[in-house]
Amino acid sequence: MPPAMAADPETQIRFESGQRTTGWQPFTFSRRSRVVLQGQANGARVEILLDSGAEKTVIDRRLGEALKLARVGAASLDDRRAVASAELVSGLELTIGALHASGLTAVVTDLAAVRSQTGLDVDVILGREIFEQTVIDIDFPGQRISFSHPEGFSPPPSATSTALRPFPSGHGRVIEVGVEDRTVGPLEFDLGSGSAVVLQQPFWTSARLTEGRVVSSSLIGTIGGIRETGLISLRSIELAGIRLTNVETVLAPSRGTLESRMGSGTIGMPVLSQFRLITDYTRQRLYLVPDLAAKPGQLPRNRSGLRVLQEGGSLRVLLVARHSPAEQAGWRAGERIVAIDGRPVDQTYWSSDLWRWSEGTAGTKVSLTLADGTRREIVLQDYF
């Protein structure tokens, strides 16, 4: 017997006119790491970021004030660095195509950091409520998505699958991921993560993953901002019988007393977006259909060592990675880039492919123009 909708005393999911699916809906794939949908919140048009790692729907403070939602208390908001208190409101209703979610209780916070990191004016982060009550089919190659009732769902014949188990200490889901044929770890399934793999300190320490390899540095973004981390390259990972090689992997620093909330780590968008991906929380399964047009097993990576943040018509250098071509060329945090190979940095930077300049093949020469008009050349390399 097909599973029924998950019981949830707060949120009710329904489809228009007795339909059981939204059909395909377009989405914006921001920086090839964020699924952003257009929808409505209590009748107001909003930009919605889909995030399986969010334990509860989050709305921007300005939206909460505009909708005049009733405050019902406070909630703990974990931004992977600390747990903070945030306002909790009720009465939120979301519409995406033929899908209507009512009775949502949402966390209210300032999403300015998320908007800065994504380059999009995000109003809502939609998390576990929608995943727990619908089958979500995300066709990354086609940049389209559908939400369906679990009853009557059957996966495509070409799909492979793996267990999608409840997270022991939270509301998310984990999948088993093989790491370099040496160990298997339960990694949180996180469509809100722009990192391919993030490993928590107890896991990467016990697996001795830093021994015999270069450890560089990178940044990881959270609701609370951006922080520095370690960075390595895993020779391979395997999920649902599919192997990916040379995977950029963030080594999270110690979380102290929060460590038990995090599990072994997360697996994020750069990996998950290689597939047509279908989540069915009611059956605890994740289905993957490989993109036959993509290069098998190869993931994009930053080969410059510069981590930047767009601010108007320039890119401010936030970090110069250890051992990178940028470090060897003498780059420093705080410098500003205004053009790349002669193309100016403007409002189209994140929506065009210009932002992918650092992902060129090793040996590619890139000319960067600084705010003072000087030009520097950087040669892309695999440095970790």
If you average pLDDT over every residue of the chain, what do you get? 88
In whole angstroms, give the CA distance from residue 70 to residue 105: 10
Confidence of residue 297 (pLDDT cuts 50, 70, 90): low
The residues with which 216 forms a beta bridge, in sequence order, are 231
pLDDT higher than 60, residue 87: yes
Confidence of residue 11 (pLDDT cuts 50, 70, 90): confident
Q: pLDDT tens digits, residue range 38-58?
A: 999 999 999 999 999 888 899
Question: Exposed, middle or buried by CB within 10 Å (0-12, 13-18, 19+), for 41?
Answer: buried
Supply the pLDDT for residue 227: 83
Average pLDDT over residues 262-274: 88
DSSP for 55-110, please give it: SS-EEEHHHHHHHTPEEEEEEEEE-SS-EEEEEEEEEEEEEETTEEEEEEEEEEE-
In whole angstroms, give the CA distance from residue 333 to residue 318: 5
The pLDDT > 70 percentage for the chain reads: 88
Confidence of residue 84 (pLDDT cuts 50, 70, 90): low
Q: pLDDT tens digits, residue range 311-359?
A: 999 999 999 999 999 999 999 999 999 999 999 999 889 888 899 999 9
Average pLDDT over residues 185-203: 92
pLDDT higher than 80, residue 76: no
Q: Where are the strands (E) in 127-224, listed by range?
A: 135-139, 144-148, 160-163, 165-166, 173-179, 183-189, 197-199, 216-222
pLDDT higher than 50, residue 245: yes
pLDDT higher than 60, residue 261: no
Task: Indicate yes or no: pTM above 0.75.
Answer: yes
Supply the pLDDT for residue 36: 93
CA 111 to chain centre: 15
pLDDT higher than 70, residue 295: no
Which domains does the chain show, CATH number per domain? 12-148 (2.40.70.10), 160-290 (2.40.70.10), 306-379 (2.30.42.10)
Higher pLDDT, 227 or 207: 207
Higher pLDDT, 16 or 296: 16
Supply the pLDDT for residue 4: 35
